[in-house]
Structure formats: C-alpha cells, structure tokens
Amino acid sequence: MKPFVIALDGPSAAGKGTLARRLAAHYGLAHLDTGSLYRAVGRRILREGHDPADATYAATVAQNLQPVDLQDPELRTEATSKASSIVAAIPAVRANLLAWQREFARHPPEGKHGAVLDGRDIGTVICPDADVKLFVTASLEARAGRRFRELQAAGANPIRRAVLEEMASRDRRDSERATAPLLPAPDAFVLDTSELDADTVFDRVVAFIDSKTRSRRA
C-alpha cells in the first residue's frame, strides 16, 4: 500500500517541529526533521574547520553523512543554523540528500504506514505527490520572539535584535536561493501562526487533514 505522506514546510520557528511531532504521534506516522540533515552537514563542516560556502567540500560531507552527525550536541546553535542555510543553497548538497529523504517517505521506518516530513521544500521538491501539504508561517517578529525565548530556556543569553537579524538573513537565503527555495506548493494549506498557540494550530491542521481524507474516501 502507498504510504500516507504529510509534507510540512515553512520558515524558521513557525512551529513546524512541534506540529510535525504531534501529527506523527496522532496519526501513527514516522517523522523526519529534514532541517537536521542540513544542520548536520553545516555542523560537521564547522567542526572540521572548513568554510560552509565551499561547495565541493559541502557536497562530499552531504554524501557521507553518518548517523552520529545527527547526534551532535551543537546541532541547534545559532552558528550551526547559519551554516546550515549556507550549505542548503548549494545544489549538490541538496541533490545528495534527496534520495535518502524520498526513501524515508516511500518506506517509513518501524513498519509505520506513512510519514511526516518537515522542511522547506517537501511539498515542492521532495514529495510533490504528498497526500497532504501544509505550509505554516508567521511574522518575522513572532518567529524571532519564539526563537529568543527558546534560546533563553536552553540557558543561552541571546540578544533580541541579533536573533531577529540572523533570522531575517536566513529567511532571505532560504527564499532567494535558486534551488528549491522556501515556497508554498500551489496546493498547500497555508496557516499563519503569528497569533495562534500550538494547540490551536494542531486542532486546525487535524480538522483540515480529516476533512481532506474524508472527502477522498467518500
């Protein structure tokens, strides 16, 4: 049977991670945080003292990514965030990560009947035939505020203005790159979460998915 695939895209700190985990638990699906792949590539390059903009080196790292790279404790630091969006703009890096992501969607692990993939290009490039496509977004101010609080909660001492500026420049890199830019698929359900809490976002998305799958079954 063809697996049930939910493609969940959107910019940084729009609430994709929380929503993806909850959808996976609710529908019994596997979950792949595709951002962690780009983070792992960026982080390993920084750790090895190379330049994330070196396309040849970055492509080799992407091709040889190891499970242990995904366990790096510095995967979510600001330095890694920046490096990840630099390597993500390199077409050969994206090409080298593509087959693995599609395979996850086609054959979800642990015998699950489907998967939720969250990222930037899932509905447009990785899984254009996904059963459900979601695009969650929020204003830059709302997203930067969330990231600021997240960093504080993690024990860091962030500067509000710097968090906002770093996020704005990552938005620009992700949206303006030539290969697989951040973009809602034409058939995506778009939800602005600026004024919504996580429970409301979850309820609205579940209502959308259930009505869509009901109308398909009818």
| Residues of the shown chain interacting with ligand CDP in the complex, contacts defined by CB under 6 A | 12-13, 34-35, 38-39, 81, 84-85, 88, 119-121, 170, 174
In angstroms, what is the minimal distance from the CB of 182 to ligand CDP? 7
In angstroms, what is the minimal distance from the CB of 210 to ligand CDP? 26
**115: which 2 tokens?**
């998967």
In angstroms, what is the minimal distance from the CB of 60 to ligand CDP? 18
DSSP category for residue 178 = S
* Cβ closest to ligand CDP, residue 174 vs residue 209: 174
* Cβ closest to ligand CDP, residue 171 vs residue 213: 171
In angstroms, what is the minimal distance from the CB of 109 to ligand CDP? 18
Find all residues with CB under 8 Å of 191, minimum gap 6, and list them: 134, 135, 136, 137, 201, 204, 205
Question: Whose structure tokens read 């080196």?
Answer: 57
Per the CB < 8 A criterion, the answer to whether 159 and 147 are in contact is no
**21: which 2 tokens?**
């985990």
* Cβ closest to ligand CDP, residue 158 vs residue 213: 158
* Cβ closest to ligand CDP, residue 44 vs residue 170: 170
- CA–CA gap between residue 98 and residue 96 (Å, rounded): 6
